[in-house]
Amino acid sequence: MKYMLLLYSNESEIPQTPEEQQAAAPAWYAFMQEVQAAGVWVSNHGLSPVATATTVRVREGKTLTTDGPFAETHEQLGGYYVLDCPDLDEAIRWAAKIPSVTYGSIEIRPLNHWSQ
């Protein structure tokens, strides 16, 4: 079963300076190695900060474009992993190993049948 693990955190709490980012990198690299070695990794990406977000809606044929994310929230979506796990317990186990889980949160969503 494929699960998308959505990484939320407060952008002010993620590593900011190049030094901080460099210090955090090995943990992310190790996680990537581990999911790939376990054969559960499907895909992943990180997102640029919400300051770069644009939201689009089409209403009555008109395209409305606004600056900013869909909703202003305390924690922002920062990236995702898609993992192929036998069940939810396994997905929870992996989620608990994502480096940002100690300061942010991970939302686990099963992919629906059409996209599996």
Partner 1 sequence: MITKTQIETTFREEHGRVLAALISQLGDFALAEDALQDALVNALERWEVTGVPRNPGAWLMTAAKRRAIDHLRRAATWERKVPLLDLPDMEDEPEMDDAIADERLKLMFTCCHPALALDTQIALTLHTLGGLSTPEVARAFLVPVPTMAQRLARARKKIREAGIPYRVPPADLLPERLEALLAVLYLIFNEGYCTTGGDTLTRRELCGEAIRLGRVLVALMPQNAEVHGLLALMLLHDSRREARLNAAGELVLLEAQDRSRWEHGKIQEGIAVLDTALSLYDPGPYQVQAAISALHAEATTPEMTDWAQIAALYDTLLKLSPSRVVAVNRAVAVAMAQGWDVGLALLHQIEDVEDYYPYHAARADLWRRMNDRVAAAEAYQAAIHLCGNSAERAYLQKRLKEML
- Give contact residues for partner 1 (rule: CB under 8 A): 1, 3, 85-89, 91-92, 108, 110, 112
Q: CB of 61: closest distance to partner 1 in angstroms?
A: 35
Phi-psi region of 102 (alpha: psi -120 to 50; beta: other; left: phi over 0): alpha
Q: How far is the CB of 40 from partner 1 (least distance, A)?
A: 13
SS3 call for 47: coil
Considering beta carbons, is residue 61 or 86 the nearer one to partner 1?
86
Smallest gap, in angstroms, from Cβ of residue 93 to partner 1? 8
Minimum CB distance to partner 1 smaller for 17 or for 116 = 116
24: helix, strand or coil: helix
Where b means 16+ CB within 10 Å and e means fewer, 53-80 reads eeeeeeeeeeeeeeeebeeeeeebbbbb
Residue (75 or 90) nearer to partner 1, CB? 90
Cα–Cα dist 26/66, whole Å: 36
Q: In this structure, are residues 109 and 4 in contact, taking their beta carbons and an 8 Å threshold?
A: yes
- Whichever of 76 and 85 has its CB closer to partner 1, that residue is 85
Closest separation in Å from C-beta 34 to partner 1: 16
